[in-house]
Structure 1
Amino acid sequence: MTAHPLIQVIGLRKAFGGHVVLDDVSLEVRAGEAVALLGPNGAGKTTLLRILATLLRPSRGVARVAGYDCLRQAERVRAHMGLLAHGAWVYEDLTPFENLKFWATLGGLPHGRDALNGALAAVELDRVADERVRTLSLGMKRRLALARFVLARPPVLLLDEPFAGIDQRAGKWLDGHLGAFKAAGSAILMTTHSFGRGLGVADRIAILAAGRVAHDTPLGALTLDDVRRLYELHAEDGA
C-alpha cells in the first residue's frame, strides 16, 4: 500500500440549511483497499460520496481524492475517480456499445472499436453489445457502468449501493471484479445498508450514524454476526 491515502476526509461537515447531514467526518482509504460504509438510510453515506465526486460542496473540512482537493481541484479529482451512483445511470435506448462509446468520447478515453469491444468483453457483455439496454437486467446494466472503469482505470472507485437490486449470481460476479480492481491498486469506498453484500471484497467497515463515523475497524476475521452486532451497537444507538 502507498504511504498516502487515495481517499482522505478530514473534519468534513455538510449542512443543508439547519439540517446537519455530516458532522466532523474523518476517513481514509489507501491504494489496494476497499472500505464498506455502513449505515441506515439518511446517515449521510450518499452525501459523503457526492462530496468526494465533486457533486456537492462541503460546508467545512477537507476532502481529497488521489491527493487532489475536491473543492479547489475538482477537474483533477474527476480525472482520477470513477463513480457508480445508485442505479445504473445508462441510456436505455442505446446499445451497450453506443453507451460506452458515448462515455469514452466524452471522457477523452480510447473509443476505437477494439478498445470498446475489449471493455465490454471484460464485463461479459460482448454478446449483447448491440442489444438495446432497456432489454438487459439490472445486473447487466451495472456491468455496463463498470465497463467505463475498465477503459479509464481510475485509481479511486466510489460506489453507491452497488449490490442493491441484483441477484446472488450477479453479486458474486461483482465481488470478483471489484476484487480485481482492488488487486490492481484501486481504492474503493462503497456504501451499503445491507449485511453480507459487499463485505466479501471489503478490508474495513466504517459505520456512519447521525452524521459521524461511529466505528471504523478492519474486517479481518469478523463474522457476519459480529458486523451485525457492531452495527446495532453503533448505528442504531446513534440514530
Structure 2
Amino acid sequence: MIDIKGLTKQADNKLILRGIDLSIKQGETVAILGPNGAGKSTLLKVLSTLIKPTTGQVMINGLNLKKNQLEIKKLFGYLPHSSLLYDQYSPLENLVFFGELYGVNNPEKRATELVKEVGLSFFLNEPVKNFSRGMIQRIAIARAIVHEPRILYLDEPHTGLDQGAIAILNNVIVSMKVKGTTTIMVTHDFKQAAEICDRILIMKNGKIVDDFKLKERNLDLLNDKYQLQVEGVS
C-alpha cells in the first residue's frame, strides 16, 4: 500500500528526515511515536503531499508520489492539528462542501450520516464557530472520512478531546480498519496508540529506530521499547 525508500527531507540546512525506509500494508493501523523534533509530523506531511521530499521514493497504492499527486490525494483523508473547517459554516455545510470536492454521491445524505455518527446531530445546522474544541474535532474527523478514504493520516488526533470524543474517534478508526482502510497516526498518547494500533513505529532524530507489532494492547511493552530507544532506559 505504502512503500518508502531512502526518504529525506531537508529544510533550512537541517536534515529533518534521514533516510526513511518503510513499507505499510493495506489495512494496517500504525502509530508513530517519538520526541518532539523527531520528524513524525514531517513524515505525515510528505505522505499527504503537503511538502515535497528532498530525496527518496514514495509509492502509494502503486502510484509515484512525485508524479501522481492528484490521484493520490483522492485516496487519503487527513486530520492535522487544525480542523480545516470553515467556522462560519454549519457541520452540514462543511461536510457537503468537502463531499462535493471529492465527488461523493449524495453528499448531503453522507454528511448527515457522519454528523450523527460523531454524535452531533442536534447541532447539524449550527455554525462551527460556536463549537467547543471537542465538537470541532468531531466534525473534523467526519470531514477526513467523508469520501471513505483508503488511507487515513492523523496528526495528534486525541489532543484536547474529552472521553466521549476519544471514544468516537477510536470507533471511527476501528470501523475504517474493518473496511480495509490503512491508518497512520502520529501521537504522544501511548494509551490510545495501544488501544487502536496494531503496529508501532518509534522515531528519533529523523530516523525510525524501532518498528514492531503490538499484540493484545500491550501498553507495558510499548512503554519499555520507547524508553529503551528514546530515553536509553532498559
- Determine helix, strand or coil for the equivalent of 1:28: strand
Give the alignment partner of residue 211 of structure 2, picking from 211, 216, 236: 216
Alignment CA distance shift 1:221-1:12 (3 Å) = same
Deviation at 1:26, TM superposition (A): 1.6
Identical positions, percent = 34
Asked if structure 2 preserves the Cα contact closer than 8 Å seen for 1:52 and 1:64, the reply is no
Give the alignment partner of residue 200 of structure 2, picking from 179, 199, 205: 205
Alignment CA distance shift 1:213-1:205 (3 Å) = same
Partners of 2:146 and 2:216 in 1: how far apart? 34
Partner of 1:8: 3
Give the alignment partner of residue 17 of structure 1, picking from 12, 16, 22: 12
Are 2:92 and 1:94 equivalent residues in the alignment?
no
Partners of 2:140 and 2:24 in 1: how far apart? 22
Ranges in structure 2 where 5+ consecutive residues have no aligned partner: none
Alignment CA distance shift 1:50-1:112 (3 Å) = closer
Are 2:231 and 1:236 equivalent residues in the alignment?
yes
1:185-200 alignment, distance < 5 Å: 185-200=180-195
Deviation at 1:125, TM superposition (A): 2.4
Are 2:91 and 1:64 equivalent residues in the alignment?
no
1:129-208 alignment, distance < 5 Å: 129-208=124-203
Deviation at 1:203, TM superposition (A): 0.3
Alignment CA distance shift 1:221-1:113 (3 Å) = closer
TM-score by length of 1: 0.90
Give the alignment partner of residue 112 of structure 2, picking from 111, 117, 129: 117
Partners of 1:13 and 1:114 in 2: how far apart? 42
Deviation at 1:117, TM superposition (A): 1.5
Deviation at 1:104, TM superposition (A): 1.7
Asked if structure 1 preserves the Cα contact closer than 8 Å seen for 2:41 and 2:186, the reply is yes
Deviation at 1:68, TM superposition (A): 1.4
Partner of 2:30: 35
Asked if structure 2 preserves the Cα contact closer than 8 Å seen for 1:163 and 1:198, the reply is no
Moved over 6 A (4+): none
TM-score by length of 2: 0.92
Partners of 2:217 and 2:151 in 1: how far apart? 25
Equivalent position amino acid for 1:116 in 2: A
Partners of 1:74 and 1:150 in 2: how far apart? 19
Deviation at 1:158, TM superposition (A): 0.7
Give the alignment partner of residue 121 of structure 2, picking from 107, 123, 126: 126
Equivalent position amino acid for 1:173 in 2: I
Asked if structure 1 preserves the Cα contact closer than 8 Å seen for 2:138 and 2:165, the reply is no
Deviation at 1:31, TM superposition (A): 1.7
- Determine helix, strand or coil for the equivalent of 1:198: helix
Deviation at 1:119, TM superposition (A): 2.7
Deviation at 1:143, TM superposition (A): 2.0
Asked if structure 2 preserves the Cα contact closer than 8 Å seen for 1:7 and 1:187, the reply is no
Equivalent position amino acid for 2:97 in 1: F
Asked if structure 1 preserves the Cα contact closer than 8 Å seen for 2:99 and 2:107, the reply is no
Q: Residues 14-59 of structure 1: CA distance to partner in whole angstroms, max 9, x if unpaired?
A: 1113201001112222222100000111110110011001111111
Partners of 1:112 and 1:141 in 2: how far apart? 19
Task: Give the root-mean-square deviation of aligned CA atoms.
Answer: 1.7
Deviation at 1:150, TM superposition (A): 4.1
Q: Residues 53-94 of structure 1: CA distance to partner in whole angstroms, max 9, x if unpaired?
A: 111111111112222121111001101111111132212221
